[in-house]
Structures are given as C-alpha cells and as structure tokens.
Structure 1
Amino acid sequence: MGRRVHWAGIGPNPLRRRVDRAEAWFAMVLTVAVVACGPVLVWRSGETAYDRAAAAADWQRNRFVPVHAVLLQDTGDFIPVYGEDGKAKAAVQAEWTAPDGTRRVGPVIPPAPGTAGTTVLIWTDSAGNPGERPDSDPMGAAIGVGLLIALLLVAVHAGVLLGVRWWLDRRRMAAWQQEWKDVEPRWSGRR
C-alpha cells in the first residue's frame, strides 16, 4: 500500500510541496469521479439514444409499408444513379398496388438488378408513393453514442488534468523564481 501511496504522490514526502500534494489529490479525486460516474453516464446516454432511434424506427415502419412491385423494364437499360451509400441504383418503371388498393405505375429503385416481370419489394407511404426502406438501427445508435460519450469523458478528464497541471506549473515556476531571487545573492556572494 505504501508504494501505491508513494506512486500516487499523496504520501508524506518531505520534498513534495503542498501544491504537489494538492495536485495529486485533485488528480486522484477526479479520476475516481470519472471512473465511478463515467459508466453510468455512458449507459444512460446510450439508453437514451437507443430509445430515440427505436422510436424513429417505429415511426418509419408505421409511415412506410412494404409492397410488391413488378418491374416493367430491365434495370440494365438505364444509367445507374449513385445513392448516399455509394452503390449504383437504377430507377425503372414498375407497377404496384398501393395500400389503399389503387394500382400505381411509376419509377422505383429496385433493391437488386432485375429484368422486366421481376417482382421486387419496395416501400411506399400510405398514399402509395415509393420511398426509402426504413433502416434505423437502434443498437448501432446506442453503441455509437456510448462510445462518443466515453471518448468525450476521457478527453475532458485529460484536458482538465492538463489544464490544472499547466496552471500549477506556472505557479510553481513563479515561486521557484522568487525563491531563487531570495537565495541566489546569499549563495553567490553578490548583492
């Protein structure tokens, strides 16, 4: 235990100044606080992100419904359009039945290449207009937010410790310089 106290810098070393011991205590208390409260904060923020992403996914699932559409053209006949995910997508004419029972014809982006007459799954709103497939990932949102909060906690912890050390180092150097001004004339014999 004595080695740990010595390593932490809080032991009764006669060469340590009061400000050195205060810095060691501050670092220890801050670290214990981050270690004790950090996991709870990470868990709660991840849980909140999960709940919000799950609510968004439910909203998307309630807004868009899957329907089967029959392609009226081959997907290879058109110049591909690149989506946000970087994958090539080609809009082709298709026919489908809207949720209200009306037959609809219009351009759709099929999930995979196909030929005329191929049945594909598309997502439409309640009016039958094609839309994007709901792809909210609540678990991915929770993990991402949790990792971000954990990294932010580590960065804030390190920043506070470095800021306090910088401020205390300035005070230590000023005190050292003042002490040297007091001692140097007696030591060197100059007045």
Structure 2
Amino acid sequence: MRAIVGLWRWRGNPLCRRSDRREAWLALGAMILVVAVAPFAGWLGASAAHSALLDSVRTQNQARQQVWATTESVQNRAPLDSDPESAAHQPDRQHVVAHWAGPDGSSHKDTVTTREHVQPGERFRLWTDAGGMPANRPMSARTASSYAALAGLAAGTGAAGLMEAGRRLAMRQLLRRRYALWDAEWARIGPDWGRTGSNS
C-alpha cells in the first residue's frame, strides 16, 4: 500500500525510477487480486464443502437410526480400548454394558457410551448403523453449515496467502534486478569516485 501511495505522490518526480513504478503496480495488482479473488475462492470453497457435507448428512441420516438399549451393568472406568484423552474430556458420559436389537432384529451386546445416567435394567436410546453396531449421532445440517463456513474461510485465506507469496517472489526478483543494476553502475563509476573532472 505504501508503494502505491508513494507512486502517486512521486509520479511526476524525475527521481522516481522504473523499478519503483513496477513495484507500485505490483502492489496494486496484488491488492486488487486479494480483494476480488480471495472472497470468490472462499465462496467456492464454502459452497463445495456445504454441498458435500449435506450429502454426508443425508447419507448418515439414512444409514443410522436410534434403537432402545437395555443397561446390564454400569462401568466406573472407561473400556481399555477407549481413548483416555477423549474420555477425560467427556465427564458427562457414562460407559455401560447394554444389549439391544438391531434394525434387522438381530441381538447385540457391547460396552457403549451414553450421555444419559442410567442404572442396570433401565433403557436408553442408542444410535446404530445399518448392521446394528453402535454409531455416532448423525451430523446435523447446522454443524455442516459451520464446517462449510470454516472451509470457505480457509480457502479464502489460502488464496490470499498464495497471492501474497507470489507478490513477494516477484518483489524479490525486482530487488535482485535493482541490485544488479546498482552493482553495474557502481562498477562503471566506482574507479573514478572522488576524482575531480575524471568523468567529464
């Protein structure tokens, strides 16, 4: 932005070099691209993610359903094959041994996790897949929208980052060329530096 302001302020100044103008135009072009392309990339990413997530929501709702499970015993400790970190972050969950009938009528028995605090003999609702095995609650449309918004934000930020990286690479090339011109100019006049009338 400073390069653009500087170009406008010094546009008629004979000390404004061609490299300065190129730098300012590069900054202006990058800013226009970020303002125009990054939001569009974010919208495309959010739309694509939202469509995919809604398909996943429909698939999960079709494949999973709730059944009634009966508690046989309550475990005070999490099962050995469970993740201890996730169990520590879920103090409101209870591990129980329960049996239930799957959607096809088959009988199942396993250690499951429930948010309800139940006692042996009590019933609770359990999500299962088409085979009757325990499954997570299907994703809601609201959760899908939140994830899609995050995906759009990531896409927009990534696009802006790529364009900024491109601008920096182009600026590096401009600076290298500027330094090369300075070196060539210094090599031309350096030996005569300080000699009165030596370059006349």
Asked if residue 48 in structure 1 is aligned to residue 48 in structure 2, the reply is: yes
User: Do the aligned partners of 2:4 and 2:25 also contact (CA within 8 Å) in 1?
Assistant: no
For residue 110 of structure 1, report the CA deviation from its aligned partner. 2.9
Cα gap change, 1:17 to 1:107, in 2 (>3 Å): same
Asked if residue 111 in structure 1 is aligned to residue 114 in structure 2, the reply is: yes
For residue 43 of structure 1, report the CA deviation from its aligned partner. 0.8
User: Do the aligned partners of 1:42 and 1:149 also contact (CA within 8 Å) in 2?
Assistant: yes
SS of corresponding position for 1:22? helix
Q: Distance in 1 between matches of 2:23 and 2:94?
A: 63
SS of corresponding position for 1:107? strand
User: Do the aligned partners of 1:110 and 1:121 also contact (CA within 8 Å) in 2?
Assistant: no
Matches within 5 A, 1:12-161: 12-76=12-76, 79-81=77-79, 82-83=82-83, 86-87=86-87, 91-100=95-104, 102=105, 104-112=107-115, 113-135=117-139, 137-161=143-167
Q: Distance in 1 between matches of 2:121 and 2:70?
A: 6
Which deviations, in whole Å up to 9, do the C-alpha atoms of 1:85-118 show, x marking residues without a partner? Answer: 7125665332323223x26240141322422122
Q: Distance in 2 between matches of 1:148 and 1:174?
A: 39
Which deviations, in whole Å up to 9, do the C-alpha atoms of 1:31-70 show, x marking residues without a partner? Answer: 1022112211101111110110111121111111111211
**Deviating runs (4+, > 4 A) in structure 1?**
88-91
Aligned length: 185
User: Do the aligned partners of 2:7 and 2:24 also contact (CA within 8 Å) in 1?
Assistant: yes
Asked which structure has the greater RCO (Cα within 8 Å, sep 6+), the reply is 2
Identity within the alignment, %: 26
User: Do the aligned partners of 2:78 and 2:87 also contact (CA within 8 Å) in 1?
Assistant: no
* Unaligned runs of at least 5 residues, structure 2: none
Q: TM-score, normalised by structure 1?
A: 0.83
Amino acid at match of 2:5: W
User: Do the aligned partners of 2:108 and 2:132 also contact (CA within 8 Å) in 1?
Assistant: no
Query: What CA RMSD, in Å, does the superposition of the two structures yield over aligned residues?
Result: 2.6
* Unaligned runs of at least 5 residues, structure 1: none
Q: Distance in 2 between matches of 1:73 and 1:5?
A: 72
For residue 26 of structure 1, report the CA deviation from its aligned partner. 1.8
Q: Distance in 2 between matches of 1:84 and 1:24?
A: 56
Q: TM-score, normalised by structure 2?
A: 0.79
When structure 1 is superposed on structure 2, of 149-158 and 53-62 the one drifting more is: 149-158
